[in-house]
Amino acid sequence: MKKAKILIRKGKKQFIEDLDREVTTVKEKRFYIGDLSRDFSTQYGTIKKADLKKTGTVRSSQNKDFSIFDASFIDHYKRMKRLPQIIPLKDIGFIIAKTGIGPESVVVEGGTGSGALAIMLARLCKKVYSYEIEKKHLEVAEQNIKELGIKNITIKNKSMYDKIDEKNADLICLDLPAPWKALDNVKKALKTGGFIVSYSPTIVQTADFVNALTEMPEFLHLSTVEVIERQWEVEKRKVRPRSKTIIHSGFLTVGRKI
């Protein structure tokens, strides 16, 4: 993982008597500093190159205080180049927790897309094999994997519909337009007791997949869910669900090879 810094200027609110309410007087600002070899400029002044090595509080040329610290994995992750329809973190977390994968697990997934799921899984597992047919996606994914310094992903420019080379996988994740077409291959590649997870944005794809899965004696359908991340606003007594938020990404189906 490449060295980078996060620089934050915290927002401020102030009570304005004439308005009888709090007003944001300083907007929160967040900067990702990828190049630590020279001064970094913001609208609130410049941070000296020497200060970029610090952790804690630094002061800009305009005498404004900032917090600075090493970018962590998730900071780098959020900087990744994204293709449309990236699987959100809430769904990735669900897959990790529900299947219980860990440092000894071997995972196969496809399509790679921008590599987001592969990267998160690779961080926590032994090895990830990822299938992708689109060359353009491959390039994006490879660049992202390199930037995040992940070493245990092997990407294959192949379709899971045709063949899955691996055997005895602990988990196979499908983010494919027709996941049911991969089931015969998944069956051979997964170890007995291994998990299959499919992610689809629409319910019709999901239903077709589940109906195909339940027809096959080698699989157990465990559950099909939507994971909804409902955001709340909390500000003194103003406590309420955010009125407009992204409320749908996709449906997740979890099964098991028996």
| Residue numbers 192-231 binding a second copy by CB under 8 A | 192-193, 201-207, 210-211, 214, 217, 220-221, 223-231
Which is nearer to a second copy, 156 or 179 (by Cβ)? 179
Q: Which of 40, 131, 161, 251 binds a second copy (CB under 8 A)?
A: 251
DSSP 156-204: ESS-TTT-----SEEEEEE--SSGGGGHHHHHHHEEEEEEEEEEESSHH
Which is nearer to a second copy, 139 or 258 (by Cβ)? 258
Minimum distance of a second copy from residue 176's CB (angstroms):
15
Which is nearer to a second copy, 11 or 45 (by Cβ)? 11
Q: Is 90 in the site for a second copy (CB under 8 A)?
A: yes
Contact region for a second copy (CB under 8 A) — 5-13, 17-25, 35-43, 136-144?
5-13
What is the total count of residues that contact a second copy (CB under 8 A)? 80
Q: Is 73 in the site for a second copy (CB under 8 A)?
A: yes
**Dist CA 211 CA 190 (whole Å):** 19
Using an 8 Å Cβ cutoff, are 119 and 173 in contact? no
Q: Is 234 in the site for a second copy (CB under 8 A)?
A: yes
Residue 46 phi, psi dihedral angles, 5° rounding: -100, 140
**Dist CA 198 CA 188 (whole Å):** 16
Question: At which residue do the structure tokens 């602990």 appear?
Answer: 170
Q: Is 130 in the site for a second copy (CB under 8 A)?
A: no
| Segment 38 to 67, residues that bind a second copy, using CB under 8 A | 55-56, 67
Which is nearer to a second copy, 45 or 241 (by Cβ)? 241
Question: At which residue do the structure tokens 């195909």 appear?
Answer: 212
Q: Is 15 in the site for a second copy (CB under 8 A)?
A: no
Q: 145-151, long-range: CB within 8 Å, 24+ apart, which pairs? A: 145/115, 145/118, 145/119, 147/2, 147/76, 147/79, 147/80, 148/1, 148/73, 148/76, 148/77, 148/80, 148/119, 149/1, 149/2, 150/119, 150/122, 150/123
Q: Is 144 in the site for a second copy (CB under 8 A)?
A: no
Give the CA dihedral 153, 159, 171, 217, nearest 10 degrees: -170
Q: Which of 17, 19, 84, 97 binds a second copy (CB under 8 A)?
A: 97
Q: Is 167 in the site for a second copy (CB under 8 A)?
A: no
Q: Which of 45, 72, 167, 188 binds a second copy (CB under 8 A)?
A: 72
Which is nearer to a second copy, 8 or 139 (by Cβ)? 8
Q: Is 109 in the site for a second copy (CB under 8 A)?
A: no
